[in-house]
Amino acid sequence: MEYYLVVFRAKSETIRFSSLLTSYRVPNDVVSTPRQISVSCGTSVKISIGALDIAKKLLTYNKFYTFAGIYLDNMNYIRYKSV
């Protein structure tokens, strides 16, 4: 199953982004960041493929200073997805 990981360098921003998604009723989970992604604080926000557009909009219109990228996880093959 494919999904996206939204990665931040600070755990506080990971939690804030997850809360923001939840307030827009976008299903998400805070998960451990895979080791292949070495730029994070250790946690990421997991979202479905269909939630990518709203996630991008929320990232654009809110200040997340430690945003590190969006990664596609396709059966444990992690690939960077530009925003």
pLDDT of residue 41: 79
Domains and CATH numbers, the chain: 2-81 (3.30.70.1530)
Token look-up 């997340």 returns 64
AA identity, residue 11 = K
For 56-83, the DSSP string reads HHHHHHS--TTEEEEEEEETTEEEEE--
Whole-angstrom CA distances from 22 to 26, 27, 77, 82 are 5, 6, 27, 23
Per residue in 20-79, pLDDT (tens digit) is 999 999 999 999 988 888 777 789 999 999 999 999 999 999 989 999 889 888 756 556
Is 0.85 topped by the overall pTM?
A: yes
DSSP state of 32: E
Q: Are 83 and 57 in contact (CB under 8 A)?
A: no
